[in-house]
Chains A and B, each alone.
Chain A
Amino acid sequence: MGVMQQFNEPNLITTSTDKLFNWARKNSLWPLQFGLACCAIEMMSTGMAHNDLDRFGAGFFAASPRQADVMIVSGTVSTKMAERMTRLYEQMPEPKWVIAMGACAISGGPFLDGYSVLMGADRVIPVDVYVPGCPPRPEALIFGVMTLQKKIERDQQVGYERPLPALVDEDGTINEYLPEREYTGISEGKAPRLEGIRPLKRTYVFEREGMPPAAQTDVGWVPPEVKKRLKEEAKARKAAEAEASGDGAATKTEENA
């Protein structure tokens, strides 16, 4: 799209290509074959004979994210899955859209209180259409797909200002624009930890022989002698830290003096 973006404002070329490409994109929305939980069954029902999603050209469920256009987040996203979901989202080629299907994908739904449940898919990836329900009926998902089609129809390559989140006064004037939400963090490594809960001491990491590296970070029961050694190591480390900080404090006082 580099050629088109050299224009500063919409003209005949950009608007007509917009029309063509938006028409093509909205009529050929291939969802990623990505079933998360209960809603996946209703998503499957949508693709099946009774509610035939293929009528709208959206019936080709691509198994590989490289060939998909829209990701239907169908179900509860756990923190363990959130990283995988973000990676799948990043593996999809542009342009791409996301439909959050069901209460869990919108806000966490009935599992909102859970310790391992992400409170909505939009905490990690940008969501275009929300389809409420638990689970939504197939008709609701079809309505969601059609809503997404309407959204795609409005898309422009040049001269389109994305609506920013804003604080609006009572008379409708915009008071202040809010910064856009940044979707970083999860895909780079760790899911956000729960705060305010005291970590327990009874977990240890150890390497298990004969397992591939991916499985080695899991926890296992540790024999007492190893446990003892680990404790000693931790104690030594703590002592070293204390010493270092003591040194640091000492140097600081020297500088001040």
Chain B
Amino acid sequence: MAGFRHRLVRAAAWVVGAFTLAGCALIEIDGSMTTFDPAGPNARRLDDLFWMVFWIATAVFVLVMLGLAFILLVFRDRGQKEVREPKQLHGNAKLEVLWTVIPALILAAIAVPTVSAVFDLTGCDDDAMRVEVTGHQWWFEYHYPDYGFDTANVLVMPVDEEVCLEMTSEDVLHNFWVPAIHGKRYLVPGQITLLRFEADRTGTFQGHCAEFCGLSHSLMRAQVDVMSRADFEAWAAAQQVPTLVPGEGTLAYEGFEIYRNRCIQCHAMRFDQDDLSISIERSAFNGPDLTHFASRAVFAGAILPEGTESREDALKRWLADPPYVKPGSFMPNLALSAQEIDALIAFLGGTE
């Protein structure tokens, strides 16, 4: 029986080790994409469901493993002389019924909250504010029908009220995911899918395109700014006004010229002089609307600026060679000179 105790000790050691490891992990990970820190009722509902099923599954697993461990410790053949041949049991109808019914019951218990949550959490309330989300390779576009402007990469929404995302894609499948606010939903070309967004805490939340959508799927991220209703209205108002054409002769104006000759092919922009404005429809190919570019914390699919990088450096890198930063990028390398880049940065810097 010494061997038996020995084995127990070893097993215990393993378990402790595993748990400490897991513990470290919990501390170590800051988790800006974690699903365990919900910031809204929907995400919280999902979180609760997960832990419910997680603990049930864990219980089942532990029971099975205990059974297995017992069997291995007790019935293992250690070459003892005295052990006799085992009874040749062929089965037991009662047991069969038992381990058919019990799992069935457990599953039924899981099924009830599952189904109710499915129906509660799909679709939107009709009076919810609509935001039209369009997926592109590799960035998200947001259109605010009630206010009539477009923005990109950063989704801005008011706190404590439901916002209904009406989503579609312009090219391939994408999958819009902001773990803190709700689960995922595909963006399907030619179809509309709905996602009910609601946050009960202001702040900035990270998101990511979760469906494989080609070369730069890994670089298709999203950011959500949740703010008070008042701040949101202010922001929306600011977004509605067209941006100023910089004064002649300034560096910014050179940048404006470059925009008009080159960038305009893909990037729409609304100016205070209407005749200059071009809208998405008029642009040959649809890149992000740059009207209020400077008001967005991140750009290029919400991947830039990286870490502590300054916005300038990030823009420099990007404008110098987009496909290098983002493989397959539909924005080509325009072979811009250093001062052309500076001019553009100056111009874009002014688009508050």
Same complex for A and B? Answer no
